[in-house]
Amino acid sequence: MKARLPQGYQNKGAANMNSMVKQAQKMQEDIQAVQERMEQTEFTETAGGGMVELTMTGGRVLKSIKLDPEIVDKDDIEGLQDVIVAGVNAIIQKIDEESAKEMEKVTGGVSFPGLF
């Protein structure tokens, strides 16, 4: 038995589906553009009261670490290491927050697990 749809229903459904597909493709392109822009953006963060300055790209490539000479103490290498680790963690968190904010602009707050 063949079901009958109201006249014009099938065309409207196809048009809606095409529109949804185009919107999804546009969103995917926008997401990719944000990801590419974020990868090229440089972020700077300080740690240890400004004694350590780190610069990293949104793609998580560490570009530089600047140390204030006063933080370098051969008798406290562990302290310097801790400050560097704290700085790296802080800059990664900053990148994650900025990425999430930029993606939310594109997706309207809709989450796509595994995509970003």
Going across the sheet that includes 52-57, the strands are: 42-47, 52-57, 62-67
Packing angle between helix 9-40 and helix 77-107, nearest 10 degrees? Answer: 150
pLDDT tens, the chain, 116 aa long: 566 655 555 556 667 888 888 888 888 888 899 899 999 999 999 999 999 999 999 999 999 999 999 999 999 999 999 999 999 999 999 999 999 898 888 877 666 665 54
Q: Say which residues have a Cβ less than 8 Å from residue 43's Cβ, sequence separation at least 6.
A: 55, 56, 57, 58, 91, 94, 95, 98
Ordered by where they begin, the domains of the chain are 9-107 (3.30.1310.10)
